[in-house]
């Protein structure tokens, strides 16, 4: 089938499926709406980690082990910073630093986050459209047994160890959805919306916290397909399972699926897990969701689009 595909993503898992989708679709048929709740000011620079993870994944620049930052990276800046007693807990590689410096001065000069991201896509030969969910700041904050924490403080500095009691997406209610992102979700030729296998709390729900985006997902006639970030009760990477348990949920696919109830037509569980009990108005299906290499990313992208097209064919 043809038509436009929109993916909502954040984090490393999201970037992997975004790469798979970008390899099986023409660039002009794919828009990736990226979480910006992880963005923060650090060393006077504006850092947009999830945008950069998707950008590097689509530009084939990702570090294959970390999933964030660049491969073949050097760390001269970090060594020099540490010698100066600077804040060295957030690792900025020398090549990666160029993105943060270039983005930061352009934002300070008044360019929007989406305009700067568009420049980077063009410079790095990325044909798909990578868009922040909003050009206005939204900050994911985590309420923990160590008090309220900014996202990167919780995620990187404290390595997700504090017990999570609550989450807020500060600024989400007033933030304007990025216009082209909202436009992509309301295109008449929309083929599918894909919710990538990202942490629901940290990567997807900040995007859904923008009322107009949630409304567009609720109202679209295009099939919405979500992929589980949980396999065998654990997250492939990151704190999703730990957060589910700490917030009182089971750490399984069904708990994630239920968070998307009313928005998602198909929920893809991993083939190694039993299908959960039925969930109203949601088609639960299975496919291999562990994306180790590029081939698995492409295959999951194809499977996801097939589930979407089969859903459309039934309408």
The least CB distance from residue 127 to ligand FO1, in Å, is 21
Task: Kindly state the smallest distance separating residue 209's Cβ from ligand FO1, in Å.
Answer: 16
Pick the closer one to ligand FO1 by CB: 155 or 260. Answer: 155
Nearer to ligand FO1, 82 or 261 (CB): 82
Which tokens in the block code for residue 31? Answer: 């828009």
Please state, in angstroms and rounded to a whole number, the distance separating the CA atoms of residues 155 and 41: 15
CB-nearer residue toward ligand FO1: 81 or 156: 156
| In the complex, least distance from residue 143 CB atom to ligand FO1, rounded to whole angstroms | 18
Could you list the residues that contact ligand FO1 (CB under 6 A)?
11-12, 38, 49-50, 52-53, 68-69, 90-92, 96, 152, 155-156
Q: How far is the CB of 68 from ligand FO1 (least distance, A)?
A: 4
Considering the complex, state which of residue 66 and residue 302 has its C-beta at the smaller distance from ligand FO1: 66
* Three-class secondary structure of residue 97 per DSSP: helix
The least distance separating ligand FO1 from the CB of residue 195, rounded to whole angstroms, comes to: 15
Provide the token pair at 173.
């209610």
Joined tokens for residue 120 = 């980077």
Considering the complex, state which of residue 121 and residue 305 has its C-beta at the smaller distance from ligand FO1: 121
Nearer to ligand FO1, 12 or 116 (CB): 12
Residue 155's contacts (CB-CB under 8 Å, 6 or more residues apart) are 38, 202, 239
Give the nearest distance from C-beta 69 to ligand FO1 in angstroms. 5
Side-chain half-sphere exposure of 68, counting CA atoms within 13 A: 20
Please tell me whether residue 16 adopts helix, strand or coil conformation: helix
Query: Encoding tokens for residue 180?
Result: 């082209």
Please compute, for residue 145, the number of CA atoms within 13 A of its CA located in the half-sphere on the CB side.
7
SS3 5: strand
Structure tokens at 144: 């923990």
DSSP letter (8 states) at residue 178: P
């Amino acid at each position: 089938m043809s038509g436009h595909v929109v993916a909502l993503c954040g984090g490393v898992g999201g970037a992997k499926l975004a790469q798979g989708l970008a390899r099986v679709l023409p660039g002009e048929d794919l828009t990736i709406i990226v979480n910006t709740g992880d963005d923060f000011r650090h060393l006077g620079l504006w850092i947009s980690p999830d945008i950069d993870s998707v950008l590097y994944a689509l530009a084939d620049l990702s570090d294959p082990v970390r999933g964030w930052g660049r491969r073949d990276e050097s760390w001269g800046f970090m060594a020099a910073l540490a010698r100066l007693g600077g804040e060295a807990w957030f690792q900025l590689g020398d090549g990666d630093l160029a993105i943060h410096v270039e983005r930061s001065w352009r934002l300070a000069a008044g360019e929007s986050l989406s305009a700067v991201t568009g420049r980077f896509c063009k410079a790095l030969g990325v044909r798909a459209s990578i868009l922040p969910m909003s050009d206005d700041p939204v900050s994911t904050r985590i309420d923990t047994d160590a008090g309220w924490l900014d996202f990167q403080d919780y995620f990187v500095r404290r390595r997700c160890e504090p017990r999570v009691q609550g989450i807020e997406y500060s600024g989400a209610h007033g933030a304007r959805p990025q216009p082209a992102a909202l436009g992509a979700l309301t295109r008449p030729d929309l083929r599918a919306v894909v919710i990538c296998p990202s942490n629901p709390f940290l990567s997807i729900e900040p995007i859904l916290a923008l009322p107009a985006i949630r409304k567009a997902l609720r109202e679209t006639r295009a099939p919405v397909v979500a992929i589980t970030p949980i396999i065998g009760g654990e997250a492939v990477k990151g704190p999703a399972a730990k957060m589910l348990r700490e917030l009182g949920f089971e750490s399984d696919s069904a708990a994630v699926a239920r968070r998307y109830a009313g928005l998602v037509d198909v929920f893809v569980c991993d083939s190694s897990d039993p299908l959960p009990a039925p969930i109203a108005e949601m088609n639960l299906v299975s496919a291999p969701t562990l994306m180790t290499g590029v081939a698995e990313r492409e295959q999951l992208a194809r499977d996801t689009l097939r589930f979407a097209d089969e859903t459309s064919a039934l309408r």
